Structure 1
Amino acid sequence: MGTGAISILFHAFPYGGSTMGMKAMTLVFFFLNLTLFTLFFLISAIRYYLFPGIWLIMVHHPVQSLFLGTAPMGFATLIDIAVLTIYDQFGFGGIPFLLTLWALWWADAVASVWCCFHMVHVMCTKHRHELDSMTSVWLLPVVTVIVASSTGGVIAPYLLSHSAHYAMITIVISTVLVTIGLGLALMMLTTYLLRLITNGLPPGATITSVFLPLGPTGQAGFSILLLGECFDKLLPQHFGGGILANEMTGQIIYVVCVIISFVLWATASMWMVFAVLSIWHGLRKGSVPFKITAWGVIFPNGVYANLTFNLGKTFNAPFFRTWGTIYAVLTLCAWIFVFYKTVLAVWDGMIFEAPCLDDVVLLVFYVDLFDLLCKLFVAN
């Protein structure tokens, strides 16, 4: 999903964003994102098919299981660019392609709701958590519904020209999703701030998780801004009854959404400053080891830059465009660095680790292996 965030930044870039060069870079990162998503999805599917016993072990792990939410979030970034660039800018596929993307959004929304509610329930009933071991990774399951809502806000304006009914359903569902996700995220962020104050910064490589709070605040701001624009276009001329029939309703909702979006941008900026200070403090005490979790830095910073771009467009303010550009370039540099370190880690094998299996008796693997051999024997 970090790679998907980079493709979205190229699309939204305020300077030359509509040029063929920027469109080409958007597609390069889109297809790289698509390749990586497909590859890792297939690898994970094969892993759990060959060793079904480790699925429940992973789900019951208090940290590893929380990363399940990255799958629907990564898929949502693919839908975003498919709508904004492939469908809108290149005119690919027409209405059938748009409706296919809409159907994929529904599937992504269902998966996001499952990740959010199921994983929060598992955290309450199966996991054991302590305040001193809490990290912002707790946010991952709830951010899924926020990301799904923003994708609904992306696709809804294009549905409007085809069906106002489809567009209204999409933005109403998206509004419900972002409300649920933002509510849960703000409660968790309050707990996370308490953890930082009482127990200090996360140790070692986990210190990079301090950037994760930019995810729910930045993405929720982007989603609410899009939904406000959609309500402004949809109400009252296409739909309405009661208060929705008032000619000012759409504009009022839009203004309120812009204000909320700006407040969330300010909140995300606050967390960004805290994160930079935390990383600086960690580097002063020694080098921060590289782990695959460093990819968690890219997406939240990317959505913060994207929200900044969109506020610049909404307010027509040079400050937001300039600051968003600087931050987007820094995020791209972070992506290049993390990608380079990941390639090195793949080459020497350091990246292949499964924390959820550290304390598992090897008998589980032998049982699964025996079951696989039996299946192969029967098949032959």
Structure 2
Amino acid sequence: MLSKYLRRSDLAVVRVNHGELLFGRWRHAPQVRDLNVTATAIRIDSAANADPGRIAYARAWLLNTGQLSAPFDPPFYQASSAHVHLDTNSQQLVFSDMLLKPQFSPIGMNLHKGYQAPAVTIKLKALTLAGLAFKGLVEHGDFRLKRVTVQSPVVTIASDGRGPINPNRSKISPEEMLNLPVIIDVPRLDLVNGNLYSTYRSPLTPLTGTMNINRFNGTFYNLSNDRRHQTAARPLTGKASTYLQNQCRLDAQVSMYLLDPKGRHRIWGAFGPGPFAMLNSMTVPTKLVGFKSGKAQRIRFDMRADRQGTTGTMWAEYSGLQMELLGYKNEEVKKTLIKRVISKAVNVVVIRDQNPRKRGKLVTGEMKSTREPRFSVFALWRQGVVSGLFNNVGVPQKIAQKLSDSKDEAPLPK
């Protein structure tokens, strides 16, 4: 705009104090309140545009805001951050008190989209991007930085199984990094003190199942789709610790070559100790299957996954395992006579009540599951663990795989 009238423009300092900013006509148009910006040594001409020491013509930018908000995947979500701090001199960008909030209930999401779509709420105390290369971000949209820290994330996933399965291929999959139009290069990613709360209403009963993952802490290295950094010899690696239902500790590690078109990766780790009954809050209302007794001392697993599915081995050490099949009648879960008889037969004939066996032999389980491309990679990991656990406690492998691969699908409610 200026080049039509001026060959060069110089400004020592530009400040904006307590402004408000609203972009129109954009599908994801943001709104910024209490905008405070200081830009120093602005030079506007062709030389300044190409100067590696300048970002958007200025030597430095300092920005602080009040609330920043924007629609996300409108009309389904609204995203916001209470404060934003940006400093190009220190190469830092910080979002404080972030929130992603769904605009519909789980069944409302299904009805509006026409297929099953969870209602996801995400809260973050802070998201800190350190060592950010702002020039590459401004000019190319690339995210090259030294470290990302996600502080105290709280994720709530509420799902409803009434409706057809999402017809689209899931974007939450390792091989999708190949399709990103920009470069993401993060040498280190830290997740600090996270919690995940999931609820699910199956077509089987109107009761809601719950499952929590608490006190999640993890560090991941080389999250990158830059071919200079991401190689088969130097893949994404990481380790994390968390607690299932805030009771049972899980330690896991991952190795994942993000530029592999087949999406091959490895997950391994261990659970325990903890009671099997902690799973009842999810399995009873959604599957009408409960753990009557049993305690796991230690469950180790080593799983390999790709676009086709999972394979691997599970070593479950436990004692006193008893399961029960239940029925739903008159708006409550009940122990019916026929289910009691079947449960007795299953516990005697199929289920191993302890492992190692009485002679000290530790029986292993086969982790085998088929990949559903419409589901995220997290669903694939869950399927692999479920199939391995079922097989380890005595369920034949083909039946264990069928149980782990089963997916709820029902007509949308009117």
State the TM-score, normalized to the length of structure 2: 0.26
Q: Which has the larger radius of gyration?
A: 2
Structure having the higher helix fraction is: 1
State the TM-score, normalized to the length of structure 1: 0.28
The one of the two structures with greater contact order (alpha-carbon pairs below 8 A, sep at least 6) is: 1
